[in-house]
């Protein structure tokens, strides 16, 4: 299930206003800023309203949701009861996210066309944003 599909209208507004760490580095690397609401809308369109399973879209969804949590966008805004968090793993969260991003980059070898460019830009932007959050 896509985590972003559970966002309330208020959370979507907050997502659109979310400050992005290292936005200038993102622009330098990808040529454009990371716009979380545009990434959300792109994922929604790509997955048919979050109905179609797409491994790369799921990874981008997870990364954007994680960034929104780290930036405090989702704290207290949800009207639903959050799912219980799993027991902490001994792995450093930053290392875990880096591994997920690296897996995404390897998976991109099997994607072609405009989706590949859009997903690559999202991965690059999320990598930079998560680097210092």
Structure confidence by residue, pLDDT tens digits, 22-49: 888 888 888 889 999 999 999 999 999 9
Q: Please state the domain count of the chain.
A: 1
Within a domain: residue 4? no
d(CA 108, CA 123): 10
Give me the pLDDT at residue 61, please. 94
Residues 6+ apart with CB under 8 A from 44: 4, 5, 50
Residue keyed to tokens 């896509």: 2
Give me the pLDDT at residue 97, please. 66
d(CA 19, CA 30): 18
Question: Cβ atoms within 10 A of the Cβ of 122, count?
Answer: 25
Which residues of the chain fall short of a pLDDT of 70?
75-112, 114, 132-133
Within a domain: residue 42? yes
CB 100 within 8 A of CB 63: yes
**Cα-trace Rg, the chain:** 14
Within a domain: residue 35? yes
Give me the pLDDT at residue 52, please. 93
Q: Which domain holds residue 108?
A: 27-75+88-131
d(CA 61, CA 1): 10
Within a domain: residue 83? no
Give me the pLDDT at residue 74, please. 82
Record the tokens describing residue 11, joined without a space: 């959370």
Record the tokens describing residue 5, joined without a space: 């599909």
Give me the pLDDT at residue 75, please. 66
Within a domain: residue 96? yes
Residue keyed to tokens 């979050």: 50
Give me the pLDDT at residue 73, please. 85
Within a domain: residue 16? no
Give the CA angle between residues 52, 54, 59 to the nearest 5°. 130
């Amino acid at each position: 299930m896509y985590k972003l599909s559970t966002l309330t209208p208020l959370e979507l507004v907050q997502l659109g206003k979310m400050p992005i760490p290292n936005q200038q580095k993102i622009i330098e690397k990808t040529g454009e800023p990371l716009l979380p609401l545009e990434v959300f809308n792109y994922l929604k369109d790509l997955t048919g309203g979050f109905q179609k399973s797409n491994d790369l879209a799921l990874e981008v969804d997870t990364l954007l949701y994680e960034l929104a949590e780290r930036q405090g966008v989702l704290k207290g805004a949800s009207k639903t009861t959050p799912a219980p968090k799993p027991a902490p793993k001994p792995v450093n969260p930053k290392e875990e996210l880096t591994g997920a991003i690296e897996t995404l980059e390897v998976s991109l070898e099997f994607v072609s066309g405009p989706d590949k460019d859009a997903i690559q830009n999202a991965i690059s932007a999320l990598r930079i944003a998560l680097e210092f959050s």
